[in-house]
Amino acid sequence: MNQIFVKPEKCMGCRSCEIACAIQHSKDKSLFPAISQSPAPMKRLFVEAAGGTRMPVLCRHCEDAPCISACISGCLYQDEKKFVRRKKERCIGCWSCVMACPFGVISRDREKHIAVKCDRCHKQDVPACVNACPTHALVLADAGVMSEEQRRKVVFTEATGASR
């Protein structure tokens, strides 16, 4: 139960995940203060749509993360849970990670002048985005279990001719 998986077919594009993410990363971690916080708290994931696909795009916490390789100040690192995180005080705002992330999920905090990315809500068991998703388009799962489920689905579809 370590990785966030996205099931695009279940995403309605409601952006509840974005809101929950921004609240989670606000000062008071609750909706109303977050709304009035200035500058506004920043979300770390982005609901995008293209060609009939809607889905939140978020940090994959890559095993061999391009952002960590690109970081020239020793800010980004892989923590003991394999989450890609920041040592905030080390960030110099050079945006090398922004340049390197193929998912486009690292953004700039213009006030603090540092890079902002998903921290996998490392202090809690279930990340805010997963918690907030009403359709279970975002799920927390073990990679092995998830791929087993996918395989079962394919076999079932092939065997029965049922559509997904």
Partner 1 sequence: MRYGIIGGSIAGISAAKAIRENDSSADITVISGEKAGPYYRPIIPYLISGQKSEFDILYPEDPLRGRDIASVLGTAISVDAKKKEVLLASGARMSFDVLLLATGSVPLKPTIPGLEGTDVYPLRNMAQAIRISNAAKTSRSAVIIGGGLVGIKAALALRERNRSMGEGPREVTVIEALPEILSGRIDQRGVKIIRAAVEQEGVSVLTNTRASEIVRAQSAVTGVKLSTGKTLKADLVVVAAGVRPNITYLRHSGIKTNRGILVNESLRTNVAGIYAAGDVVEGRELLSNKNTVSGLWSNALEMGRAAGANMAGGNVNYPGFLSVMNASEIAGIPFVSAGLIEADGGKYKTISHEDGEGYWKLVLDGAFLVGAVFVGDLNNAGVYTNLIKNHIPITRVRDKIERRIAAYVDLMNN
What residues line the site for partner 1 (CB under 8 A)? 46, 48-51, 53-55, 57, 66, 69-70, 72-74, 77, 87, 90, 92-96, 98-108
Whole-number Å distance between alpha carbons of 109 and 75: 15
Q: Shortest approach of partner 1 to residue 29 CB, angstroms? A: 26
**Pick 72 or 162: Cβ nearer partner 1:** 72
Closest CA to 71 of 50, 93, 43: 93
**Pick 64 or 158: Cβ nearer partner 1:** 64
Q: Shortest approach of partner 1 to residue 50 CB, angstroms? A: 4
**Pick 16 or 96: Cβ nearer partner 1:** 96
Q: Shortest approach of partner 1 to residue 52 CB, angstroms? A: 8
Cβ 128 vs Cβ 20: under 8 Å: yes
Cβ neighbour number for residue 66 with a 10 Å cutoff: 15
Which residues have C-beta within 8 Å of that of residue 27, sequence separation ≥ 6?
33, 34, 37, 41
**Pick 23 or 91: Cβ nearer partner 1:** 91
